[in-house]
Structure 1
Amino acid sequence: MRKDWIAGALTVCLLLTGCGTGAENTAEAAGSSVQTNTEEPVSREIFAMDTYMIITAYGENGQEAVDAAEQEIDRLDALLSTGSADSEISRLNAAGTAQLSEDSAELVSRALEINRGTGGAFDITVYPLMQAWGFTDEAYQVPSDSTIAALLEHTGSDQLDWDDDSNTLTLGDGQAVDLGGIAKGYTSGRIMELFDEYGVQSGLVSLGGNMHVHGTKPDGDKWRVGVQDPENSENIVGVLEVTDCAVITSGGYERYFEQNGTTYHHIIDPSTGKPADSGLSSVTIVSADGTLADGLSTALFVMGADKAAEYWRQHADEFDAVLIADDGSISVTEGIADAFSSDQSFEIISRK
């Protein structure tokens, strides 16, 4: 099942209109939003990177900026998609080695950096495991333990040979990679750069629920981004008030299947080859760096709450996080505690 397009549509509605803590309040906010905006936005919905996206820009050059953003999304999708045999990443996987373009090389370099920094919790070499579970083509199945064990032997970024000088990546035996775990965050960052080039002072992009906001709202207020309730896609559990940053969430509810009464989600733990069982149902990362936010939303989900909190303490100048546990409890890092509001009580993770 896929729910990411629903989450994206809901969150965009919240951004443009303000929000409450449920669908009813959101609709009421939407009804009054047109009267409070000082400029009419240029907005476009497209389908790319296997998800629905919405690009919105305000201001004199908004149309040109949205056009350029759509072209950039299409370009990066064609370059990075594992679903297209002609993409650069598919050709790499088929050949086992390739000299990469600037964008792909930047993504590989960042992926390896995040992999090392998180102790392997984020790993682009889990792609064959994703295939074995059927998450790449929706042919869902539970692979045998022997199949998982065999694939794990070839899982690990430490088996990759990366030449940073020539931008050449050589895969280890039996390996394949997928940059999808950071591609949307990288893409949203590129769109923010385009907004700067076109003089857009207020804008946002939703890439399947991955949000990136530019500047403030046209009236000068902060953007209000809803954090989805993992148990109910029509509700939110809280609101973040932010400017100039990415707000990216990973959760087991985004893509999953059920077999014999057990739910299996798509976030694979590279150490086990199975869906991460970390006690978390979603992780939201807030950072000025969209690529980092995308990678860390997965990595911290795999780590679990305690390790995620400790990792944040060591890197608090780079990002903040909202962690939602399987029991529904919410933890928010100290750096965004004042920017987060919820009808539920929540724990503040302090720097100590």
Structure 2
Amino acid sequence: MQGHRPRLSRKLGRGEISRIVKCIPGRRRRVIAAAAACALLFLSGCPAARTGPDPRKLESRRKTSFQYFGTVCFASVYDDFSSDSSRNRFEEAWQEITDMLARLEASASLDKAGSDLRRFNDARGGERVPVSATTADIIALARRLYEETGGAFNPAVANLVDLWGFSPRFRNKSDLRMPYDRPSDEEGGFGLPDPRYVEAFRRLSDFSLVRLGGSAEEGYFLTKEASDIAIDGVPYSLKIDLGGIAKGYGADKAAAILEAFGYEYGYVNLGLSSMRLLKRNVSDEGAPGRNMWAVHISDPEDSAKDFLSLYGKDTGLSTSGTYDLSYSREGREYSHIIDGNTGEPTRSDILSVTVLGPDAASDDALSTALCVMGSEKAEDFMNTRMKGFKAAMIVRRESGRLDLVTNMKKGEYALTR
């Protein structure tokens, strides 16, 4: 998932707000694989029946880190923190979470020197790179979702993301320069790239040519089966970016740690877009059931306002958007979400997608994939291939009207715009 913050939006000019389009799941359905779970916040409501302390009187505590994946990571829980042992327990849980995030970054970080991902990307075509069990697990899940979505979710677009100016080196103001770089303007946009690079990097975006091998006993490895392509004498090889799934994977693992420490109420948030919800100690206002959170999705046309609220508990959640990181050229908006089939930023009419499902890693991948597909294909995919997952898509029609397209039941969401 290329990350979209639930409360961050980019102004596009105000259009006419629409009706709600309710998508009814069809007969043909195929389950997309799941793994663990994720999401965000807000208060009020009614407590659930429970032995022990009154849930309404539980205290909230939160831990935050900016140390991993170049973004914010935090965990929040509600519990009885009246004793030293209860406070120490949360410290121990947070330590386990940060240790896990450090291992995850050493595996899946695009920037961290010596990470599995960095070593793989630096390898030439045909080379084999040893990787950790964590990397192998993420790659296996990514491969399954790549196949399930027909390539709409594609970690192998890393070269294209860099070509179009959306990789971390541009955000981090790196000194690294590539032959295909173009000057940036005052708004952070770029001129259009040389078509030779678009085509070469499109050919190098075949994730099926990343082969996972090995075993837990003998160790895992990745083989880069795509041949390098040279332009003006400079060789380029297939590269992958796991940012569209790794943060959700981390949220799943962090939530599992909280649950192992006995926490029932709380949530985990990685990068503001990949989340895992436990239960709410009291249901948020408007929630259709007990212990449910309200997650507020920002209005694509006004970042100060919300477009809708989604309700959930014990679930993963991920939001992707095509409008929050983009630039304009010659009357076209170029988004950070790349379509590997064309080698270009997606031309999707979808502005934002939020997916709730059994695990945040799959939610990450699916929210990005639906953005790439565009509303027509995404609606069909949502209704036929996403059993066990809920999706809410904000779509801009040709008239300028915004439609909410969703497979969620009435009461599981509320329009707030």
Match of 1:15 in 2: 41
- In the alignment, what sits opposite 1:32? none
Alignment of 1:126 with 2:200, yes or no, is no
How high is the sequence identity, in percent, across the aligned residues? 27
Partner of 2:405: 331
Higher mean C-alpha displacement, 241-250 vs 57-66: 57-66
Q: Corresponding residue for 1:170? A: 223
Contact 1:93/1:177 (8 A) holds in 2? yes
Between the aligned partners of 1:294 and 1:5, the Cα distance in structure 2 is 12
Matched with 2:365 is: 295
2:5, 2:319 within 8 Å by CA — same for their partners in 1?
no
Partner SS for 1:17: coil
- Evaluate the alpha carbon distance shift between residue 5 and residue 123 of structure 1 in structure 2; reply closer, same or farther with a 3 A threshold: closer
> Higher mean Cα deviation, 88-97 or 214-223?
214-223
Structure 2 residue aligned with 1:282: 352
Q: Secondary structure at the match of 2:72?
A: strand
Cα contact 1:57–1:65 (8 A) shared by 2: no
* TM-score, normalised relative to structure 1: 0.84
> Residue 247 of structure 2: which of 184, 193, 198 is its match?
184
What is aligned with 2:97? 69
The amino acid of 1:84's aligned partner reads K
Match of 2:140 in 1: 109
SS at match of 1:338: coil
Contact 2:309 2:416 in 1 (8 A): no
In the TM superposition, 1:1-352 aligns within 5 A as: 7=7, 15-17=41-43, 37-47=56-66, 48-59=68-79, 60=86, 61-95=89-123, 96-136=127-167, 137-138=169-170, 141=190, 142-163=192-213, 165=215, 167-171=220-224, 172-173=226-227, 174-219=237-282, 221-259=291-329, 262-326=332-396, 327-334=401-408, 336-343=409-416
Secondary structure at the counterpart of residue 239 of structure 2: coil
Residue 5 of structure 1, CA deviation: 6.1
Decide whether the 8 Å contact of 2:62 with 2:74 is kept in 1: yes
Deviates more, 1:198-207 or 1:162-171: 162-171
Find the aligned partners of 2:205 and 2:197 in 1 and give their Cα distance: 13
Q: In angstroms, what is the RMSD of aligned CA positions? A: 2.6
Deviation at 1:286, TM superposition (A): 0.5
In 1, distance between residues paired with 2:276 and 2:44? 14
Matches of 1:265 and 1:182 in 2, distance apart? 18
Between the two structures, name the one with larger relative contact order (CA 8 Å, sep ≥ 6).
2
- Cα distance change, pair 102–118 in 1 and its aligned pair in 2 (3 A): same
* Cα distance in 1 for residues equivalent to 2:323 and 2:137: 29
The answer to which structure has the higher helix fraction is 1
| Equivalent residue number for residue 350 of structure 1 | none
Q: Is the 8 A contact 2:5 2:273 kept in 1?
A: no
Any idea what the Cα deviations from partners look like across 1:82-129, whole Å, max 9, x if unmatched? 112221110111124212211110111111111111111111110011
Q: Which has the larger radius of gyration?
A: 2
> 1:3 Cα deviation (Å)?
9.1
